[in-house]
Amino acid sequence: MAENDPEVRTVDIVFEAEARTLDKLKSEVTITSKYSNFEVTLQTDEGKLHGGDASAPMPLHYFAAGVVTCLMTQMKASAKRLRVPLEGVRMGASFHWRIEQSGRDPYSSVPVGFDIDIEVDSEAPLEDVKNLIEWAKKGCFAEQALALPCPVGHRLKVGEDWVAV
Amino acid sequence: MAENDPEVRTVDIVFEAEARTLDKLKSEVTITSKYSNFEVTLQTDEGKLHGGDASAPMPLHYFAAGVVTCLMTQMKASAKRLRVPLEGVRMGASFHWRIEQSGRDPYSSVPVGFDIDIEVDSEAPLEDVKNLIEWAKKGCFAEQALALPCPVGHRLKVGEDWVAV
């Protein structure tokens, strides 16, 4: 285990979010991190076809943005540490889900495939660039959360108590 | 299979992102979706401690925002379909990763736990609220992508070709 290996350093990274519903399908969320000492408040909405006002990005705009830019940051940070020259990176990504719905039930969503195409401006040998991408993938918080099964725990406030749901 | 069940309707939902690195640790990403007909361009940065300028949210701010607000939207949409009265929802969420790093290698990141606490303003019976949350979890694109293993495919542009990496 990494925790028992004296040569492995570990740091805990925690992001916290406080969200509340606004009018119709709008929500507002404030995200903080002790690690970054940076707080941001964002609003989300849905399109008019789905009962929203299209007044703000949809939740999945932020989700997709977070996944891709996390990998971008890891490419740059890993390049520095691996001493791989890196002028710039461009990525084109696709996030594909399928909705399944029957009768009057709400729908269920199923992830189908997430793909990222990477273009790298670098004078480094191809093998070095491939190695850089491997490290960036391992370092990318978002990608690791997608690739590994990460059940989300939920609690509901019932009276003064928190009940697992 | 859902595709073979005539009573199950399916809809494909695809979000696409185009990203490029900017100066230092900054990135810019444009996210589009045919489904929502809404396009947004966002910038990300890292904190000064990590070589950035703290000029924009970090990728994980957007990632966490997307996960929580996706579930918020699903709560509202599912409540409407299930005819559960719902005045408002508040959520407090925690996203916890651990960095592991040794020698001069870049770090690897490991998801530790994601938890969401939910407060619901509703006159509905507790069982109806619990059922609503179950449906919202199943409908939440982000949560399903976290809970299920979703390997991300990568291709690198080498000359004029795209090579799997």
ipTM metric: 0.95
Beta bridge partners of B29: B19, B42
Q: Give the three-state DSSP class for A162.
A: strand
Give the pLDDT of residue A5.
65
- Pick the residue from chain A with its C-alpha nearest to B102: A8
Q: How far apart are the first and last CA of chain B?
A: 31
Record: contact B21-A75, CB cut-off 8 A: yes
* Range of lowest pLDDT (A1-5, A107-111, A134-138, B156-160): A1-5
How many Cβ atoms sit within 10 Å of the Cβ of residue A127? 8
Looking at the fold, whether A27 and A7 belong to one and the same domain comes out as: yes
Is any Cβ of chain B less than 8 angstroms from the Cβ of A1? no
Question: To the nearest whole angstrom, how far is the Cα of A124 from the nearest Cα of chain B?
Answer: 12
Among the partner-chain residues A16, A57, A137, the one whose CB lies closest to the CB of B93 is A16
CB contact under 8 A, B25 and A81: no
Tell which of B22, B38, B57 closes a domain.
B57
Q: Per-residue pLDDT tens for A13-71? A: 999 999 999 999 999 999 999 877 889 999 999 988 888 999 999 999 999 999 999 99
Interface of B with A in 9-68 (CB under 8 A): 9-21, 25, 27, 29, 31, 33, 35-38, 40, 42, 44, 46-47, 50-51, 54, 57-68
pLDDT in tens, B94-127: 999 999 999 989 999 999 999 999 999 999 999 9
For residue B143, with 0-12 CB atoms within 10 Å meaning exposed, 13-18 middle and 19 or more buried, which class applies? buried
Asked whether residue A14 is domain-assigned, the answer is yes
- On whether both A22 and A80 belong to a single domain, the answer is no
CA angle B99, A151, A8 (to 5 degrees): 15
Distance set, CA A40 to CA A51, A52, B12, B65 (Å): 26, 23, 31, 10
Q: Are residues B72 and B128 in the same domain?
A: yes
* Residues B103, B80 within the same domain: yes
A29, A153, B87 from A20: Cα distances, Å = 7, 18, 11
Are residues B4 and B70 located together in one domain of the fold? no
Using the predicted structure, report yes or no on whether residue B14 has a pLDDT greater than 70. yes
CB-nearest partner of B65 from A9, A17, A151:
A17
Average pLDDT of span A94-100? 97
Q: Based on the domain organization, do B85 and B129 belong to the same domain?
A: yes
CATH at residue A83: 3.30.300.20
Range of the domain at A90: 63-148
What's chain A's average pLDDT? 94
Q: Could you tell me if residue A159 is inside a domain? A: no
Cα–Cα distance between A141 and B96 in angstroms, integer?
10
Tell me A151's DSSP state.
P
Residues A35 and A107 in one domain: no
Interface residue B84 vs chain A (CB under 8 A)? no
Asked if A162 and A156 count as a contact pair (C-beta separation under 8 A), the reply is yes
In a domain, A33, yes or no: yes
CB atoms within 10 A of CB A26: 20
Confidence check: pLDDT of B1 > 60: no
Structure tokens at B121: 């303003």
Report the gap between the CA of A10 and the closest CA in chain B (Å): 5
| Range A95-123 average pLDDT | 96
The least confident of B12-26, B35-49, B66-80, B100-114 is B35-49
Shared domain for A27 and A72, answered yes or no, is no
Pair B70, B142 in one domain: yes
**Residue of A60, A84, A105, A128 best to disrupt the B interface, most CBs of B under 10 A:** A60
Please check whether residues A135 and A82 belong to one and the same domain: yes
Which pLDDT score, from 0 to 100, does residue A50 have?
82
Residues B153, B165: Cα–Cα separation, whole Å: 8
Q: Could you give the CA distance from residue B128 to residue A102 in angstroms, rounded to a whole number?
A: 19
Q: In angstroms, what separates the C-alpha of B62 from chain A's closest C-alpha?
A: 5
DSSP B25: T
Number of structural domains chain A divides into = 2
Q: Is residue A154 part of a domain?
A: no
Residues A52 and B33: their CA atoms lie apart, in Å, by 15
Q: Do the Cβ atoms of A75 and A89 come closer than 8 Å?
A: yes
B132 and B69, same structural domain?
A: yes
Percent share of chain B, pLDDT over 90: 88
The domain boundary, picked from A57, A79, A101, lies at A57
Global pTM reads 0.95
Residues A113 and A132 in one domain: yes
Q: How much of chain A is in helix, strand and coil states, percent to nearest 5?
A: 30, 40, 30
Per-residue confidence (pLDDT) for residue B48, from 0 to 100:
87
